[in-house]
A and B are shown apart, each in its own frame.
Chain A
């Protein structure tokens, strides 16, 4: 197979082949298959699963994790990690709620997004410029953000938010929740940013080999920083959805959300080693987790067991990622 094509334009059949190649090389095919199988099994086991209402419900319930996972995909492809997403949702949501009560809903929205992006910027600054390990930095920020949330709120929720702030999490168009629409929009934007722009291309380069990227003239630090800011911003959007859904800000909002977010990204074929992954994969990962959660609810599985299954899924995904990476590495050295 050493055919060197002579033509310059890309014929359509190559496009299809390339699309298939992208699907397979990013480990999307197995996860898509898993999604189909799990969905098929569930639709046999419960009559309610395959109803339009339930399907739209899955996307709606997945929206917080999904929106945050869009940002986390960028971070993880740079071979980083963001553990602070849940705490970020709680803190930015709380501050936004307080500001909205003092002023109006629009200032509330602005506050949420600015606070969330700032937390992302703090993560990014420590990781990119001070070169600290992302795991430790974001774990520390998780602790600080959650602690500040509890301190400021004194453990109490803030109830009764203005309509403008609740709108994203609480309204619907033609029966589809606005949070589900926002999730889809964010995935589309994320996909375009990651696969069609030079920024996304640089993200892959930095995650694949940061030294080679630097020597090729890519500003590695600003790329890494930006990835964390995007993750923070997405956490902010997720916070707004959370606020609207509950019509309140609770200090314990989104506890442990990072687990689901990282699980979705990794299950979706993005490598924790960096340099590999896709938004399409993350979307399917989010859906798979959503479908499994939904299915377990429909089948009346204990909530305790739900968390166990999520943990097991992460372990499985990481195992597959490591095996796949090792297989490729072995091919290269032989």
Chain B
């Protein structure tokens, strides 16, 4: 390699348009964390198995550690920092995770939330099995997932205008 190539990219991140020059090999997760200072998106495994780096791109959830920033050129990205509602109130998922104790160390949480957000647009009223399958690209080491499932059910109910009734044990 001779001269390092840098390329201009334009992305909309959490509603704001951003223009930057990046090296082509810059991973999207590093672009978000290092260049834009959006450190809510985490890195947990480096091999696209853990999902801690999950963000939303153009309505889809992807792993930002396995995407080059240049591939995101022209797209609209939402990270956990942009999850709250426009009026500043917390998203139903953020509320659900707290109410149902869906997190402990918090490291998987941003990726889990961003995956769950897209899951609920794909399937607004998922069953427990569908939730488990839908978040299977996100590893959590702390919770055993049971309360994450409840948190997503809580959010689904709220987004559907219902109150979440916890299933009796």
Specify whether A and B are partners.
no
Interface residues of B (CB under 8 A from A): none
